[in-house]
Amino acid sequence: MSNIAAILAEKHCQRYLRGFTDCVNEFPETWHLDCENQRLKLQRCLQSNEAVVKIKEKCAPEFSIYEDCISKNPQEMAKCLSEFQSFISCADKVADKT
């Protein structure tokens, strides 16, 4: 799997990633409302990781486009696959340089 963000989350923030994932699985149709607390905990954990911080800085435009798509399509995340792939491609390039 090439998803560097998921790899970093698994490595450094496993507990929070598991909590968020479990919540999304429990509330598949309302996760964007019911899992906000878990998402914020995962986000705070990731913000403390140096590689993630660099990815966030360098790939901010790609992530913003992806995040905007998710906000507009909270129950149809598959519509945002190309935006996600663009972000992951950027993240992989940044991670290779760190």
Amino acid at 5: A
Question: Which run of H or E residues covers position 90?
Answer: helix 81-97
pLDDT in tens, 7-66: 666 766 888 888 998 999 999 999 989 999 999 998 888 778 777 778 878 988 998 898
Taking alpha carbons only, the member of 69, 61, 47 closest to residue 91 is 61
Q: Would you state the torsion angle of the CA atoms of residues 34, 60, 11, 24, taken in this order, to the nearest 10 degrees?
A: 20
Q: Would you state the torsion angle of the CA atoms of residues 54, 59, 61, 64, taken in this order, to the nearest 10 degrees?
A: -80
- DSSP label at residue 98: -
Number of domains in the chain: 1
Residue 5 has pLDDT above 70, yes or no: no
